[in-house]
Amino acid sequence: MAELLWEPALGSTEIGVSVKKGIVVLSGIVDSYYKKVLAEKAAKKVSGVSAVAEEIIVKVPGSSQRSDVDIAEAVVRALAWDSTVDEKDVKVVVESGVVTLEGEVEWQFQKEAAYKAIQRLVGVSRIINNLRVKTKVNAHDVEQKIAQAFQRSAIIDSRKVTAEVLGGKVILTGTVRSFAEKNDAEKTVWSSPGVVSVENRLVIDSGVTMY
């Protein structure tokens, strides 16, 4: 609750929190998709959190409601303004405020950039990012680059994290100290060229005893 209150964009009474054995359940109603994203990120920062179940509902107020056509046009404009995304590679479908992105991009960061470019748009209630990464890679080269990236990280204990590459898929195993470290390890993997999927099997060992 303190971490949610620390986020200025979130109202103090919008989101409810319950916890059992390190699993956090977020509930409530917010007026934008972006607030939903912020709440989940805030919960994952807290020490001892092993998983987040997000049950927050986005209910756009009447004054901010937009038609699906208006939302689709706004999405296309947002993608066009983002220099990392080629909007010609992205197909946009909007239904009842739910935005679906489809198509192929060269890099994972382009897929993430497309998502970030539209998450603050008014009227969006949910985003389904079905963009695919199509780069072909050498598995051995990817493993080496990921291992080197882990060693450079000030957050990740590279001695306790292993990345196995199978084609374009990376499997992470080992232990981390927090959800934030687990998330950072996955982000590091996604930064490697040619990664198309990540299976994050990292186990959180925070040293906190749960009852």
Same-domain check for residues 129 and 143: no
Domain C-terminal end among 133, 158, 188: 133
Domain C-terminal end among 25, 59, 93: 59
Q: Which residue has the tokens 């957050």?
A: 155
Output the pLDDT for position 84: 87
Domain C-terminal end among 133, 158, 192: 133
- The answer to the question of residue 210 being in a domain is no
Is 71 strand, coil or helix?
Answer: helix
Same-domain check for residues 41 and 92: no
Same-domain check for residues 50 and 76: no
Question: What residues make up the domain containing 143?
Answer: 139-204
Same-domain check for residues 92 and 35: no
- 92: domain CATH number is 3.30.300.130
- The answer to the question of residue 72 being in a domain is yes
Number of structural domains (the chain) is 3
Output the pLDDT for position 152: 84
- The answer to the question of residue 9 being in a domain is yes
The DSSP bridge partners found for residue 131 are: none
Same-domain check for residues 55 and 67: no
Q: In this structure, is the dihedral angle defined by the CA atoms of residues 83, 134, 155 and 24, taken in order, positive or negative?
A: positive
The DSSP bridge partners found for residue 164 are: 171
In this structure, the number of other CB atoms found within 10 A of the CB of residue 199 comes to 12
Q: How many Å apart are CA 177 and CA 172, to the nearest integer?
A: 15
Output the pLDDT for position 137: 63
pLDDT in tens, the chain (211 residues): 999 988 888 876 789 999 998 899 999 999 899 999 999 999 988 988 888 999 999 988 877 789 999 999 999 999 999 988 888 889 999 999 999 999 998 888 889 999 999 999 999 999 999 998 876 666 677 778 788 888 888 778 888 888 888 877 889 999 998 888 888 888 888 877 778 788 999 998 866 444 4
The two three-digit tokens of residue 116, written as one number? 């970030």
Same-domain check for residues 126 and 80: yes
The two three-digit tokens of residue 197, written as one number? 């999927």
- 10: domain CATH number is 3.30.1340.30
Q: How many Å apart are CA 146 and CA 91, to the nearest integer?
A: 31
